Amino acid sequence: MPSTDEFTGWLGLDAKSVEGNLVKTTFNPKVFTDDDIDIKISHCGMCASDLHTLRSGWGASLYPVVVGHEIIGTITRKGKNVTQFEIGDRVGVGAQCASCLKDDCYECTHDNEPYCTERVFTYNDTFPGTDDVAYGGYALQGRYPASFAFKIPDGLPSEIAAPMMCGGITVYSPLKRNGAGPGKTVGIVGIGGLGHFGLLFAKALGSDKVYAISRSNAKEADVLAMGAEGIIATKEPGWAKDWTRKFDLIVSTANNADMPLHDYLSILKPGGRFVQVGLPEEPIPQIQFGPLVTMNVHLLGSLLGSRSEITEMLETSAATGIKSWVQTYPMEEVNEVLKLMEAGEAKYRFVLCN
Ligand code: NDP
Ligand code: ZN
């Protein structure tokens, strides 16, 4: 049985909700356990995954759905096993809110919780062995296992921290795991919410040169301000010729499969890595094995990041003053903001505030 507790949120009732038709009403959160916390949500960033889910772009979503997985709030209730937090603490919750965390789970014991077979996403998912549905952060309150909540360092404002909980960690993790740092040339494909963090974090990790790989030059001034060496516009045929064998690592946040994948691979050095984190609704473009084989290129995917990486990212950001580029709106205006987001207006993350 789900709980009879009532929280208030902005619910997507069907695929048309993505057009700005969320309904503010009550929902029943998971049953409260000794391991859970309740939070009063103050901020929630808007990720492209929210749109994919609202429109059932990745397959039929579990309506009614409360999307939003870049959540910041303060703890209002905690279960008796929760010793790491106090009531009133400011915490963040990202796109994963649970995994098994058992001693015999290889993934959970090796900093790889996103790949645990019992992973629970923060919305559009269910908690294994229960009737409980996971609900996200376009809401006034949230209830989550405390083990996937993270204390926000004092130096990090909530609207800056919110989009790091998914957008930030999704690029921080593959950049770190694939060697971004001194001596490396790194490219970031797609300068949206995730992509702008890609530039900021690749630079913060000490990469020699970081380039934005965008469809046009329109975002040039912004990417330079984010620390990029320059912008590479891929709209013109033949663009890749000047960049052959220049990159050690490319992280792609492209949100559409209509992308020049062979050209991206051709600008990697032999042994270079291309990590796709964007999740288009369409299948991956046709690919020839030639470039992979003859250039020893690695084609990889990556999901979110581990709990230790989230903590490290938040602490590094607070210590070094890394700032997300955000535009804030009252959560009450979420339906209008959804339309702006669909139109690609975010520069570079919309954050909803209660
Ligand atoms: P945004 O909409 O903010 O940014 C996506 C960017 O993709 C755009 O700004 C654009 O950049 C680029 N893009 C769009 N169409 C194309 C195309 N045809 N070819 C190449 N690039 C294109 O989205 P987010 O950053 O919020 O999310 C990006 C993707 O990552 C989504 O699919 C999302 O679901 C996924 N995601 C994956 C996660 C994971 O764990 N792997 C976690 C979170 C999100 P430009 O204008 O510069 O070309
Ligand atoms: Zn996300």
Is residue 318 in a domain? no
Burial track 72-81 (b if 16+ CB lie within 10 A, e otherwise):
bbbbeebeee
Q: Are residues 126 and 239 in the same domain?
A: no
Q: Looking at this predicted complex, what is its ipTM?
A: 0.98
Residue 319 placed within a domain: no
Residue to mutate (ligand 1; options 189, 231, 255; most atoms within 8 A of CB): 255
Q: Give the ligand with the smallest distance to the CA of 278.
A: 1
Rounded to a whole number of angstroms, the distance between the first and last alpha carbons of the chain is 30
The answer to whether position 306 is within a domain reads no
Which residue's CA lies nearest to atom 22 of ligand 1? 254
pLDDT for 307-349, tens place per residue?
999 999 999 999 999 999 999 999 999 999 999 999 999 999 9
- In this structure, are 215 and 89 located in the same domain? no
Cβ pair 12, 63 in contact under 8 A = yes
Question: Model confidence at 286, in pLDDT bands (50, 70, 90)?
Answer: confident
pLDDT at residue number 171: 98
pLDDT(2) > 80: no
Q: For ligand 1, what atom is nearest to the CA of residue 257?
A: 18
Same domain? 144 vs 25: yes
Residue 307 within a domain: no
Residues with CB under 6 A from ligand 1: 47-49, 52, 95, 166-167, 170, 189-195, 214-215, 219, 253-256, 258-259, 277-279, 302-304, 346
The structural domain count of the chain equals: 2
**257 closest CA partner among 296, 285, 229:** 285
Residues 161, 15 share a domain: yes
Q: Are residues 70 and 195 in the same domain?
A: no
User: Could you tell me the residue range of the domain that residue 219 belongs to?
Assistant: 167-301
CATH number, domain at 46? Answer: 3.90.180.10
According to the model, what pLDDT value does residue 258 have?
93
Residues 174, 141, single domain; the answer is no
Check: CB of residue 40 under 8 Å from CB of residue 76: yes
- Nearest ligand to the C-alpha of residue 304? 1
Number of H helices, E strands in the chain: 9, 19
Do 157 and 174 fall into the same domain?
Answer: no
Same domain, 120 and 81: yes
* Domain co-membership, 18 together with 153: yes
Whether residues 177 and 294 fall in one domain? yes
In degrees, rounded to 5, the angle at the alpha carbon of residue 330 between the alpha carbons of residues 67 and 26 is: 45
Name residue, tokens 């759905």. 65
Residue 59 has pLDDT above 90, yes or no: yes
Q: Give residue-wise pLDDT tens across range 133-168.
A: 999 999 999 999 999 999 999 999 999 999 999 999
Tell me, yes or no, if the pTM score tops 0.80. Answer: yes
Q: pLDDT, tens digit, for every residue of 25-48?
A: 999 999 999 999 999 999 999 999
Q: Are residues 171 and 200 in the same domain?
A: yes
